[in-house]
Amino acid sequence: MNRRRFFGGLLGAGLLVRSGGLLAAEDAAGFAMPLRFSRPENESDEGGLWAMMDREERNLKRSHLLLKDSKLRDYVQDLACRLGGEHCPDIRVHIVRTPVFNASMAPNGMMQVWSGLLLRVDNEAQLAAVLGHEIAHFLQRHSLERLRDLKSKAAFSQFLALFGAVGAIGQIAVIASAFSYGRDQEREADRIGAFLMHQAGYDVGEAARVWGNLLDEARAREGKEPDQTSPLFATHPAAPERREVLGDLAKSLPGGRHGAETYAAAVGNHLGQWMADEVKRGQYAESLVLFERLVKRSDIGPLALFHRGEIYRLRGEQGDSDRALADYQSACSANSPPPEAFRGIGFVYRNRGQGNDAVRAFTQYLELAPNAPDAAFIQSYISELKS
């Protein structure tokens, strides 16, 4: 039987004493870690759900979207284990290359972490906030509660897609709005996730920053409120409430590290590809908000400048050509400029009819990246412009 205790809110940890010391942090958070779960009987509701999630996990392992980087997977797995404690052996992390902010954890222990999430968090503490939230859903068996709430066979099949539809970006809004966790469950997961963060040594204040950054992106969608356009905001507690609650939790669970350098080292080799995937997503208003943050980071600023330039060039609104050129040129002035920034300059000048300038930029690109996959294509541009 699970050992769960809910006290209906946070207690003053500094005021209560037990055995000569402060009350344990788990009591202050109103939560005690449950014992590891044994596999349910196949005939039960939960057993059937586990079996289907096992099948989805086998499918996931064969997906071309699964990121096969053992070092990165082990890094995220280790973080999940530190958050999950004795449940570590039951948590299996899978990193999926999909440019959307998402993480989920199925009742059988399968955890998906999407690359769009990894691109958007700034440090290890922020990633811990999201993983801790999903682990909290797992610990409280919220997915089983949702299963029992569903009434129709069609609804149940869509519920499975919440965990199994890897990369099905077009269905996310439908699935999340109809079959997401309830707001009370989300509040509970926020509180427990904050406790797990704190126990693992992370700054709980970073949880509110993750949510605030997502809110900024959602607000960039012109003409609609975030809860009308984003499944996350439609099904989670209202943003002001959530910021306030997470802020209070941070005050009651102070201290902790951010782990920015460790996180940057773990994901650094993938950031260029994830940024390119974000550009291809075609949601330019949201992406510009994201890149506004990324260009300020010293470790990836030039790379982010190049990709923001790509967004401006592809969007093509009034003034975007100048904005793109400015970002490309700023990226090229860095100590280790991304070669693609010179290619971007070449495209801008070619579109403007400045052939000589375009040739110089394209030539610099090929000098820096002679084996680029589009080298022959760019060389044909140079020949065309010289003729």
Instruction: List, for residues 107-163, the tens digit of each pLDDT value.
Output: 899 999 999 999 999 999 999 999 999 999 999 987 777 766 664 445 555 555 555
Do the domain assignments include residue 175? yes
1-5, 56-60, 135-139, 241-245: segment of lowest average pLDDT: 1-5
For residue 127 the two structure tokens come to 């990633």
Asked whether the CA dihedral 350, 352, 358, 361 is positive or negative, the reply is: negative
| Per-chain mean pLDDT for the chain | 83
pLDDT of residue 240: 64
Residue 51 lies in a domain: yes
Same domain, 240 and 295: no
Q: Are residues 145 and 210 in the same domain?
A: yes
3-state helix, strand, coil in the chain (%, to 5): 65, 5, 30
Q: Which has more confidence, 280 or 247?
A: 280
Residues 277-317: tens digit of each pLDDT:
999 999 999 999 999 999 999 889 999 999 999 999 999 99
Please compute the mean of the pLDDT values over residues 207-211 and round it to a whole number: 91
Percent of the chain with pLDDT over 90: 61
Indicate whether 292 and 207 sit together in one domain: no
Tens of pLDDT, residues 24-42: 444 445 688 999 999 889 8
User: In 3-state terms, what secondary structure has residue 79?
Assistant: helix
CATH code, domain with 355: 1.25.40.10
d(CA 269, CA 283): 24
pLDDT at 175: 39
236 or 39: which leads in pLDDT: 39
Query: In this structure, are 220 and 289 located in the same domain?
Result: no
Same domain, 192 and 325: no
103-105, strands of its sheet edge to edge: 92-96, 110-114, 103-105
In a domain, 21, yes or no: no
Name the domain boundary from 195, 217, 252.
252
Distance CA(361)–CA(328), nearest Å, equals 11
pLDDT at position 258 is: 98
In the predicted model, what is the mean pLDDT of residues 66-79? Answer: 97
The more confidently predicted of residues 49 and 223 is: 49
Q: Which of 225, 252, 279 is the last residue of a domain?
A: 252
189 & 83 share domain: yes
Find the distance separating the first CA and the last CA of the chain, reported in whole Å.
79
Q: Do residues 227 and 302 both lie within one domain?
A: no
Domain count, the chain: 2
Whether residue 235 sits in one domain with residue 114: yes
C-alpha angle with apex 372: 355 to 293, nearest 5 degrees?
85
What would the DSSP string read from start to end of 336-384? S--HHHHHHHHHHHHHHT-HHHHHHHHHHHHHH-TT-TTHHHHHHHHHH
Asked if the structure places residue 20 within a domain, the reply is no
pLDDT confidence band for 359 (50 / 70 / 90): very high
The reported pLDDT for the residue numbered 155 is 56
pLDDT tens column, 188-199: 999 999 999 999
Q: Which tokens in the block code for residue 258?
A: 């951010």
Look at residue 308 and give its three-state secondary structure: helix
Answer yes or no: is 121 within a domain.
yes
DSSP string covering 325-337, please? HHHHHHHHTSSS-
> How crowded is the C-beta side of 170, counted as CA atoms within 13 Å?
0
> What is the four-CA torsion angle of 279, 282, 286, 288, rounded to 10 degrees?
40
Q: Are residues 99 and 225 in the same domain?
A: yes
Exposure string over 243-282, b if 16+ CB within 10 A, otherwise e = bebbebbbebbeebebbbeebbebbeebbbebbbbbbeee
pLDDT (0 to 100) of residue 287: 97
For residue 169, is pLDDT > 70?
Answer: no
174 against 230, higher pLDDT? 230
What confidence score (pLDDT) does residue 28 get? Answer: 45
Based on the fold, state whether residues 79 and 153 are members of the same structural domain.
Answer: yes
Supply the range of the domain harboring residue 333: 268-386
* Position 35 in a domain: no
8 A C-beta contact, residue 250 and residue 207: yes
Residue 29's contacts (CB-CB under 8 Å, 6 or more residues apart) are: 10, 191, 192, 194, 195, 198, 253
Provide the sign of the torsion angle of the four alpha carbons 143, 281, 206, 123, taken in this order: positive
Is the domain of 284 the same as that of 197?
no
For residue 32, is it within any domain?
A: no
In this prediction, residue 166 has a pLDDT band, given cuts at 50, 70 and 90, of very low
- 223 and 282 in a single domain? The answer is no
Phi, psi of 385 (to 5 degrees): -70, -25
Q: State which amino acid sits at residue 283.
A: Q
State which of 186, 219, 252 marks the end of a domain: 252
Which of 216, 240, 213, 237 has the alpha carbon at shortest distance from 226? 216
Element (H, E) at 105: strand 103-105
Tell me, yes or no, whether 258 lies in a domain.
no
Q: Flag the least confident range among 210-224, 244-258, 351-365.
A: 210-224
